[in-house]
Amino acid sequence: MKATQRDFASVAQRAAQHCSTFFFCGPDEAGAAAALQRVVELLDDPGERVEMSGAELRRDPVLLGDEARSGSLFGDSRHILVRASGDEAHDAVQNHLAAHGDACPVLVLATSATDKSRTAKLLEKRKDALVAMFWPPDLSSVAASVRSMGDAAGLRLGGDLAERIARAAGLDVRLAQSEVTKLALYCDASPQSPKTVDASDLEAIGAATEEDGFMPLVNAVLSGETGKLDRELHRMREHGMNPVGLLLAVERRAAQLAQIGAKLGPRGSLDNLGRGEKAQLGIFFREERDIRTQLKNWHRHKLERLGPRLMQLHKALLANSQSAEVLLSQELVEIARFAARR
């Protein structure tokens, strides 16, 4: 079974009921992670979570199958979450599928992988597996997701407020969900007692505005504007921006640049794209000048070096949460210097 962000919502329930192995991939890591969590919520009895890494499974390809068929410490149900890069977990998944006996659900979150990867090809034609591919979202799709989140939480959100939340979250559906949850608590809303939300409610919970959001810093870094970094990093600390959320915004823009570069080809230009094509690529009027600059700074080979570096930084931030702000600041300075080189 295959899905993308366009049809995932319609197949999620059926997949959770009929599939036991799930592969979430694509350049929108935030969307893939949110989809994974949604499947877990839809499982009849997800039980405890056992986390494994792709590197661990690459070293021991039989571990996944053994772990999926072993009992929980207390005899309860469980599910396995694998965080992998690319096809790290391919052999382990292959061995798991070939093993006998009942197994718990296995969910693989594979950054840098696509639905063309070996692991995806292994799973896509199986009725007991789901391959879900997520491209970087555009504003309208995230705003629509925000409205759906609001409906589920008992919030009546207008399109302008949903779009504002989406922008403030840097098009990260996980951060947007956090804002919706806070808003529902503030408004004392529930599906049984829905509330209508206005701009004052959003301001009252301290939701970041677009101007206080991630993008000025993201643009300074990827545009190689080292002279702006001190001010933007100070603003990051002053507003207490989430380091992982900020890094996700950098990752999304890097993925967007790669997608635009692939569309344009080596000699293409943004001037050759129509308004509809630009919208599909997430190029909006206010961002176009920054994107033009960044496309000049980040040719294909530089982007190929940036991707793994961002992934390693992401892992470092998750493993060192107390030092995350310092680690992120140091690395953003290095990336900005690299972007400034011609």
Nearest to 183 by CA among 157, 166, 201, 169: 201
Q: What is the pLDDT of residues 125-162, one digit of tens each?
A: 999 999 999 887 777 878 888 998 999 999 999 888 88
Give the DSSP H or E segment for 334: helix 324-340
Q: Tell me, what's the pLDDT at 210?
A: 41
**Cα angle for residues 297, 116, 113 (degrees, 5° grid):** 55
Q: Tell me, what's the pLDDT at 212?
A: 46
Q: Tell me, what's the pLDDT at 75?
A: 58
Furthest C-alpha separation in the chain: 62
Residue ranges of the chain whose pLDDT lies below 50 = 73, 207-212
Three-class secondary structure of residue 188 per DSSP: coil
CA 282 to chain centre: 16
* Long-range CB contacts for residues 261-270, cutoff 8 Å, separation at least 24: 261/295, 261/298, 261/299, 261/300, 261/303, 264/295, 270/295
Q: Where are the alpha helices (DSSP H) in 196-323?
A: 199-204, 215-222, 229-238, 243-264, 275-280, 285-297, 300-319
Q: Tell me, what's the pLDDT at 207?
A: 45
Give the DSSP H or E segment for 108: strand 106-111
pTM to 2 decimals? 0.53
Q: Tell me, what's the pLDDT at 206?
A: 57
Cβ atoms 35, 132 nearer than 8 A: yes
Q: What is the pLDDT of residues 317-327, one digit of tens each?
A: 887 878 889 99
